[in-house]
Amino acid sequence: MASDAPDADRPLEQYRAYLLILARAQTPRQLLNKFDASDLVQETLLKAHRQSEQFQGRSEGERVAWLRAILANALAEAVRRFSGPQRNVDLEKSLQETSWRLEQWLADSGTSPEGQLEHGEQLLRLAEALARLPEDQRTALELRHLKGCSVPEIARLQGRSSASIAGLLRRGLQQLRELLQE
From residue 107, how far is each of 96, 158, 179 by CA, in Å?
Answer: 19, 29, 17
Encode pLDDT of 12-30 as tens digits: 888 898 888 888 877 776 6
For the entire predicted model, the pTM comes to: 0.60
**Torsion sign across C-alpha atoms 6, 11, 15, 20:** positive
* Full set of structural domains in the chain with CATH: 1-132 (no CATH), 134-182 (1.10.10)
Mean pLDDT (the chain, rounded): 76
Name the pLDDT band for 106 (thresholds 50, 70, 90): very low
Alpha helices in the chain, H assignment, sequence order: 16-26, 37-50, 60-83, 89-105, 113-132, 135-141, 151-158, 162-181
Predicted pLDDT at 98 = 57
Question: In this structure, which amino acid lies at residue 92?
Answer: E
Predicted pLDDT at 47 = 92
Question: In this structure, which amino acid lies at residue 29?
Answer: R
Of the chain, the end-to-end C-alpha distance in Å amounts to: 21
Predicted pLDDT at 82 = 74
Of 33-42, 94-103, 158-167, the range with the lowest mean pLDDT is 94-103
Q: Which of 138, 128, 129 is nearest to 168 (CA)?
A: 138
Q: Is the pLDDT of residue 105 over 60?
A: no
Percent of the chain whose predicted confidence (pLDDT) is above 70: 71
Q: How crowded is residue 60: how many other Cβ atoms within 10 Å of its Cβ?
A: 23
